[in-house]
Amino acid sequence: MNESVSTSTIIESEYKLALKFFMNKNFNKAFEMIKVQYQNVFNNYQAEIIEEKLYYKIIDLYLIIVGMILLSNEVKISKSEKTTIVDDLKNDVILNNLSKYKQDEIPTETIFNLYLTIYIGLDIEEAYEKFMKMYPNLEINDIYTQKWLELLILKILPGMNKISDGKQLVRENNLDERLLDRLQELEKEKDLEFEKQQNLKHQRTRDQKKKESQAKLDKDLKYKSLKQIRESSEIVKPEPQTKDIETLKDKLLYQLKLTRNYLQNNSPILAAVVIMLLIVIRILRVKKVNIGQSLKETLKMAFKISYL
């Protein structure tokens, strides 16, 4: 018996130290200590090593810290450890242990802490199923059961788009009518959120269509540009150039032919003109006459003779 009392004293001291760490926001230390106590709490209670009051205190502190772990990154734990916690919530391990080792009524504070952790740690569909399963077995008669019901009405049911069911529960349990006002506000918020999501959806659709239309326009412009380049290159064809060259060639050949005929027909005269020019230039040099004026008159005479 003395040994049992000593062990209980040690467990209570460790609980108080874990609670102190928690109050001082040293959550990692608090979790490491309360985790060990929670792992042994059911066996210790069954063996009557600890009293009922300490038994529930350990479970409540464990649930509160676990809820904090699942809600934020205040406490660093391994991925496998976090998975185990969530699996225990899914499989009702904590609730089953509470029912197994305490046959009479479980304190409503512990029920609230457990279901708050369920709401934080599980998907809304899974949480909804567990809340609705508990609801018929829960008598709403104190602050913790009212908080539990408010959690169902204000969080679980709106999350499942069942606000009208929440209004019904408020009336059935004669709860504060301000909850109806709060539900009305949530309904408006959900409608606004739905409208916002629809607008975003339509905007994304419009943006996608605009993007596709722009891509098609860019593709068409690129195709037209390439087509215009090909067409402009086809406009400058070699045929007109060849035709112009042929025409020029014909003209040159014609001029050449005329020149050749002229030379053939007038070669004696041209030769005479050249001889005459040489004689005149020689005479003028001797007489020192104006060569330019005399040459001009001589050429005029020579060309007159050639056209006779």
Residue 197's pLDDT is what?
A: 81
Residue 258's pLDDT is what?
A: 64
Does some domain include residue 33?
A: yes
253 and 183 fall within a common domain: no
What does the pLDDT look like over 35-49, one tens digit per residue?
Answer: 999 999 999 999 999
Residue 92 has pLDDT above 60, yes or no: yes
What is the mean pLDDT of the segment spanning 113-135?
Answer: 96
Does some domain include residue 220?
A: no
Does some domain include residue 7?
A: yes
Residue 306's pLDDT is what?
A: 47
Does some domain include residue 153?
A: yes
What does the pLDDT look like over 145-174, one tens digit per residue?
Answer: 999 999 999 999 999 999 999 999 999 998
Does some domain include residue 111?
A: yes
Three-state SS annotation for the chain: CHHHHHHHHHHHHHHHHHHHHHHCCCHHHHHHHHHHHHHHHHHHHHCCCCCHHHHHHHHHHHHHHHHHHHHCCCCCCCHHHHHHHHHHHHCCHHHHHHHHHCCCCCCHHHHHHHHHHHHHHCCHHHHHHHHHHHHHHCCCCCHHHHHHHHHHHHHHHHHCCCHHHHHHHHHHCCCCCHHHHHHHHHHHHHHHHHHHHHHHHHHHHHHHHHHHHHHHHHHHHHHHHHHHHHHHHHHCCHHHHHHHHHHHHHHHHHHHHHHHHHHHHHHHHHHHHHHHHHHHHHHHHHHCCCHHHHHHHHHHHHHHHHCC
d(CA 43, CA 50): 10
Residue 236 has pLDDT above 80, yes or no: no
68 and 169 fall within a common domain: yes
What is the mean pLDDT of the segment spanning 5-12?
Answer: 87
Q: Which domain holds residue 85?
A: 2-191
Residue 2 has pLDDT above 50, yes or no: yes
What does the pLDDT look like over 53-67, one tens digit per residue?
Answer: 999 999 999 999 999
Residue 178 has pLDDT above 60, yes or no: yes
Does some domain include residue 296?
A: yes
What is the mean pLDDT of the segment spanning 90-104?
Answer: 86
Does some domain include residue 208?
A: no
